[in-house]
Amino acid sequence: MNNNAAKSSWAVAFTVASVWFGTHVGGGFASGNQVVNYFSQYGWTAVIYPIIAMGILALIMYTVMKFAKLGGYTNYKDTFAALYPKPWMEVFFEIFYIVILLAAVAAAVAGAGEVLANFVGVDYTVSANKILFNLIIVAILIVLSIFGVKLVVAASTILSTGILITTAVVVIAGFAADFDAISAQLLAANALEPVAFTDAPGKAIWLGIIVYAAFQCVSIPAMIAASGELSIKGIKRANILGWLMNGLALAASGAMLCRWYPLLAALQNGGVEGFTNAITGIPNQTVLNLIGIKWILAIFSILLFCAFVSTSVTLVFTMIQRFQGYCFPKAIKSEKARGVIVGCIVIAICFAISLLGLSGIIKYAYGYDGYYAILVIFIPVLVWGIPKIKKMEAEKKAAGTAE
C-alpha cells in the first residue's frame, strides 16, 4: 500500500474515528444518565435521534477537519483563528471548550461519588451524603493529580476498553432480561403505575438532536490532532465511521433504557427505598441491580468508578498544563507550585459544580454549553467555514496541488 493510499484507508480512518468514540463514550454515557436525559425519556425516538445527532456532528466535524487539512493547521486554536473572520474570535471556541471540560470533571466527580455511595448502600440524594462522597472523590483527585497522573494515563486505555465492554454487556442484559415480570412485580408491590414517556416532540428534537450534537463538539480538538496524517478522503471516511460507531452505540443504549424508563421513573417518583435516584443517578447501575446479576454489577460499578476518576484526573491535568503558564509566572518560579495552585482552583470549581449532581450537570451545564456551541461553532462553521473551504479548494486546484 502506497503512502497516499494509507492516508485514506479505512483501517487508518478507523483509528481516528476511535478517538471520537473514546471521547464520546465515557462515564456520562456509560452511566446511562446522559442517554436518559437527552433521548430515552421521550420514547421510541431514542432509537432514531442519536443517529441523526451524530450525523450532524459528523458533518460539522468533517467540515472543520477538512478546513484544517487544507489550511495546514494541526490544532484547534490555529484552525478556529483562521475559520472566524477575526483571529481573536478563536476565544469563543476556547470558552466553550473550557466550560465543557470543567463540566465534564464536575460530572465525573458527581458520578464517581454516586457510584461509590450506591455501592456501599448509602442514599446519595441526601445533601450531606452527596457533599461527603464528592469530597472523598476530590481528595482522591488531588492526590492522583499531583502524584499519579502517569499511572492514570497508563491505565486509561485499559479502563476505557473495560467500561465499553461492560456497558455493552449492560445493554445486552437489559434487552435479555424478563422486563415484564420484573416490572409487574415491583409495580404491584409498591402500588405504582408505569410512568408515561415525556410528551414533548419539539423538545425531544431540540435537545436530542441539536443540543446533544452541539456540546459533543468537545471531540473536535482531539479529532483535528489525530487526523494530521489523513488525506481529505481519509478524513471523510473517519467521520463516516465515527458517525456509525457513535450513532449506533448511542441508539442501542437509548433503546434499552427506553424499555426500562417507565419502571425506573415510577420507582423514583414513588420514593421507593433504594430507587430515589433511579433515573437522575446511574440508570444502568439500577437496571443491573434489578436484573440481579451481582457479579456484573460489581465489575461495572468498579470500572465506572475508575473511569470517572480517570476522566477527572486526565482533564484536571490538561487544565493545569493549559493555565499554569498564566499563574503568576514571574512571582512563582516553580512550575510544580503553579500547577498545584491551578489544580486546586480547578478542582474547587468542579467540586462546587458537582453538587448539582450528575443529572443536573448533564442537563444544565452540558445543555447550556450546547446552546452556546450552536452560536459559536455550528453557525460559524456553516457560514464561514464552507465558503473558505471552497475558496481553498479552488486555489489548490488552480495551483495543481489538490488531493
User: What is the rounded distance in angstroms from the CA atom of residue 27 to the CA atom of residue 109?
Assistant: 10
- The DSSP code sequence of 292-356 is T-HHHHHHHHHHHHHHHHHHHHHHHHHHHHHHGGGS-TTT---HHHHHHHHHHHHHHHHHHHHTT
Is the Cα dihedral 107, 108, 111, 116 positive or negative? negative
From the list 39, 7, 365, 30, the residue with the least C-alpha distance to 204 is 39
Position 403 scores a pLDDT of 61
Rounded to 5°, the CA angle 63-64-66 comes to: 65
Position 4 scores a pLDDT of 63
The crossing angle, in degrees rounded to 10, of helices 335-354 and 294-323 is 130
Position 84 scores a pLDDT of 96
Position 1 scores a pLDDT of 47
pLDDT in tens, 259-292: 999 999 999 999 998 898 889 889 999 999 999 8
The crossing angle, in degrees rounded to 10, of helices 294-323 and 283-291 is 170
Q: What is the pTM of this model?
A: 0.90
Q: Is 354 exposed, middle or buried (0-12, 13-18, 19+ CB in 10 A)?
A: buried
Cell output for 306: 475508575
Position 260 scores a pLDDT of 96
Whole-Å CA distances, 189 to 183, 253, 384: 10, 28, 59
pLDDT beneath 70, residues of the chain: 1-6, 146-149, 152-157, 401-403
**What stretches of 49-200 show up as alpha helix (H) in DSSP?**
49-71, 76-83, 90-120, 127-147, 149-176, 179-189
The crossing angle, in degrees rounded to 10, of helices 149-176 and 283-291 is 50
Position 23 scores a pLDDT of 82
User: What is the rounded distance in angstroms from the CA atom of residue 275 to the CA atom of residue 269?
Assistant: 9
User: What is the rounded distance in angstroms from the CA atom of residue 348 to the CA atom of residue 387?
Assistant: 43
Longest dimension (CA), the chain: 75
Hey, how many other C-beta atoms are within 10 angstroms of the C-beta on 172?
12
Cell output for 61: 466535524
Q: Is 191 exposed, middle or buried (0-12, 13-18, 19+ CB in 10 A)?
A: exposed
* Residue environment code for 117-154, b if the CB has 16+ CB neighbours within 10 A, otherwise e: bbeeeeebeeeeebeebbeebbebbbebbbebeeebee
